[in-house]
Amino acid sequence: MREKIAIHWFRQDLRLNDNKSLFAASKHKNVLPIYILDDCNSKEFRIGSASRLWLHYSLKSLNKSLDGKLSVYSGNPEDILKDISNRYEVEAIYWNRCYEPWRIKRDSEIKANLKKREIEVDTFNSSLLWEPWSIKKDDGTPYKVFTPFYRKGCLNAEKPSSPISKPIDVSFLFDQHQIGIDKLNLLPSKGWGNKVKSFWNIGEEAAHKRFDQFIDEGLSSYKEGRNVPSKPYVSRLSPHIHFGEISSNQLWYSVRSIGDDKNIEHFCSELGWREFSYSQLFHNPELPKKNLQSKFDAFPWNEDESLLTAWKKGKTGIPMVDAGMRELWQTGYMHNRVRMIVGSFLVKNLRLHWHHGERWFWDTLFDADLANNSASWQWIAGCGADAAPYFRIFNPIMQGQKFDPNGEYVRQYIPEIASLPNKFLFNPWEASDEVLKKASIKLGSTYPLPVVDLKQSRESALLAFQSLKNLN
């Protein structure tokens, strides 16, 4: 008679600590820990290039923590779980819930079919502070505005669950039929991967070290300092959170244990924004594709491939925008304040559809998260829930002068204009020929001329927005 086993299915929970599913599975005598790369059901939401690179190294780290006992597969999870169950006496399968619409549909079908085969299935929330369906208004409808969602909904709801320790005295099994992490082919074929990876340490241990560093260097100045891209005041934890190398619950309770001040409150509210994004996605499954505000369906977007390419490559001639896009390409990350600047420039000054930005970020960001990415792009485009009004157009010159006053961020990512004085660093086209020559800059050659006039493009964007009102 075959010995009975339980399966823990790792997904976006690549850690041992505070892992409810893994802890539940550990109550069984033998546990088979698995990971399945599902490029079958994901379709257009197949994870992007940067995410695949991060996943490779995160799985390597997790496997090391499991003493090499992580079994890895690629394909349709239903078929793979059925195959494993045919080879082993599987009595229970555990996993932590994911909330992307395609995963909800897939997981529901898998769960129903497993139960038909009399295999116990239990699932848990191990990635959010609150389940997305649990935070609603008094009338039972979902919140559409962040502040009441967080303050009236989240903060008055049941407290997030306290973090739990990693399981001990577990007998982990290994499936010889697994294919191994390298066979997933997650790494890019070109050399870009090595460069972008060099900016990060990946895995559960690295996530906690990064969090400790943030507490030491950034938390005490977080509320105001988080807007300054050249300073270490942001956590840079978003990729770790997305892949579940550290949990929101761990972050929430760790900072709360320090005290209660404006910086801690603001950090917790940023975790609240993540919850809000997931709430939006859960209640609006078409969020990645469809404007929440339907009036934007008639918005007169431009279609200009050359402008889109200039934006992607950080060659728009607008330094603050270009610095952000180059940071993204070089590091797989972009400072949040800068994300708003480059996003506003794309959908307003260039008047290109937010879908272009959403898709580029999906492929190039380490923290590419369907809920956050979709909700944030709808926010900046003015068509989402609690969105910034479309007429709120970020001026990249003023944003640079305000949040990068010494030009450290721009000079780091655009070294070809580093010799410009601060007065012209964010608007080199306004510098005299003499100033440009002294800085060894030839606009249109060593650095691009602006692809659009900021004032004129702002006026065109406002006219385009006005056209929506004229339709009523």
For 391-443, the pLDDT digits (tens) are: 889 999 999 999 999 999 999 999 999 999 999 999 999 999 999 999 999 99
Class of domain 294-470 as given by CATH: mainly alpha
126-166, pLDDT tens digit by residue?
A: 999 999 999 999 999 999 999 999 999 999 999 999 999 99
How far out from the chain centre does Cα 336 lie?
Answer: 11
Q: How confident is the model at residue 76 (pLDDT cuts 50, 70, 90)?
A: very high
User: What backbone phi and psi angles, to 5 degrees, belong to 171?
Assistant: -95, 100
CA distances to 4, 73, 110, 121, 275 from 87, rounded to whole Å, are: 11, 15, 18, 18, 39
Q: How confident is the model at residue 234 (pLDDT cuts 50, 70, 90)?
A: very high
Architecture of domain 128-163+204-283: Alpha Horseshoe (1.25)
Look at residue 400 in the predicted model and tell me its pLDDT.
Answer: 97
202: nearest Cα among 221, 186, 179: 186
Q: Taking the chain, what is the end-to-end CA distance rounded to the nearest angstrom?
A: 72
User: What backbone phi and psi angles, to 5 degrees, belong to 249?
Assistant: -60, -40
Look at residue 391 in the predicted model and tell me its pLDDT.
Answer: 84
Half-sphere exposure of 286 (CA within 13 A, CB side): 6
Angle formed by the axes of helices 354-364 and 319-331, nearest 10°: 40
46-55, pLDDT tens digit by residue?
A: 999 999 999 9
How far out from the chain centre does Cα 381 lie?
Answer: 18
pLDDT above 90 covers a percentage of the chain that reads 93
Look at residue 463 in the predicted model and tell me its pLDDT.
Answer: 94
Whether 262 and 269 have beta carbons less than 8 Å apart is answered as no
224: tokens are 């105001």
Average pLDDT over residues 85-92: 94
User: What is the Cα–Cα distance from 59 to 344, expressed in whole angstroms?
Assistant: 35
When the pLDDT of each residue in the chain is averaged and rounded to a whole number, the result is 95
Average pLDDT over residues 95-121: 96
365: nearest Cα among 60, 47, 58: 47
User: What is the Cα–Cα distance from 275 to 340, expressed in whole angstroms?
Assistant: 19
Assess whether pLDDT exceeds 70 at residue 472.
no
Whether 409 and 276 have beta carbons less than 8 Å apart is answered as no
Look at residue 471 in the predicted model and tell me its pLDDT.
Answer: 65
Assess whether pLDDT exceeds 90 at residue 190.
no
Q: What is the DSSP letter of 387?
A: P
365: tokens are 């960001």
pLDDT above 70 covers a percentage of the chain that reads 99
426: tokens are 């964010």
Could you give the 3-state DSSP secondary structure of residue 288? coil
How far out from the chain centre does Cα 395 lie?
Answer: 25
98: tokens are 């994911």
Look at residue 235 in the predicted model and tell me its pLDDT.
Answer: 96
How do strand 120-124 and strand 171-172 relate by DSSP bridges?
unpaired
242-251, pLDDT tens digit by residue?
A: 999 999 999 9
**188 class by beta-carbon count within 10 Å (0-12 exposed, 13-18 middle, 19+ buried):** middle
CA distances to 8, 211, 470 from 57, rounded to whole Å, are: 20, 19, 52
Residue 447 pairs with which residues in a beta bridge?
443
pTM beyond 0.75: yes
User: What is the Cα–Cα distance from 369 to 287, expressed in whole angstroms?
Assistant: 12
User: What is the Cα–Cα distance from 362 to 253, expressed in whole angstroms?
Assistant: 30
Average pLDDT over residues 284-311: 96
Residue 428 corresponds to which amino acid?
A: P
Assess whether pLDDT exceeds 70 at residue 358.
yes
Average pLDDT over residues 76-83: 97
Q: What is the DSSP letter of 140?
A: S
Look at residue 215 in the predicted model and tell me its pLDDT.
Answer: 96
Residue 425 corresponds to which amino acid?
A: L
Same CATH topology for 4-126 and 294-470: the answer is: no
Whether 414 and 313 have beta carbons less than 8 Å apart is answered as no
Look at residue 193 in the predicted model and tell me its pLDDT.
Answer: 85
Tell me the CATH number for domain 4-126: 3.40.50.620
User: What is the Cα–Cα distance from 281 to 418, expressed in whole angstroms?
Assistant: 42
Could you give the 3-state DSSP secondary structure of residue 364? helix
Average pLDDT over residues 262-286: 97
Look at residue 260 in the predicted model and tell me its pLDDT.
Answer: 86
Q: How confident is the model at residue 389 (pLDDT cuts 50, 70, 90)?
A: confident
User: What is the Cα–Cα distance from 329 to 333, expressed in whole angstroms?
Assistant: 8
User: What is the Cα–Cα distance from 381 to 291, expressed in whole angstroms?
Assistant: 9
User: What is the Cα–Cα distance from 100 to 84, expressed in whole angstroms?
Assistant: 25
Kindly list the domain boundaries of the chain, sorted by start residue: 4-126, 128-163+204-283, 294-470
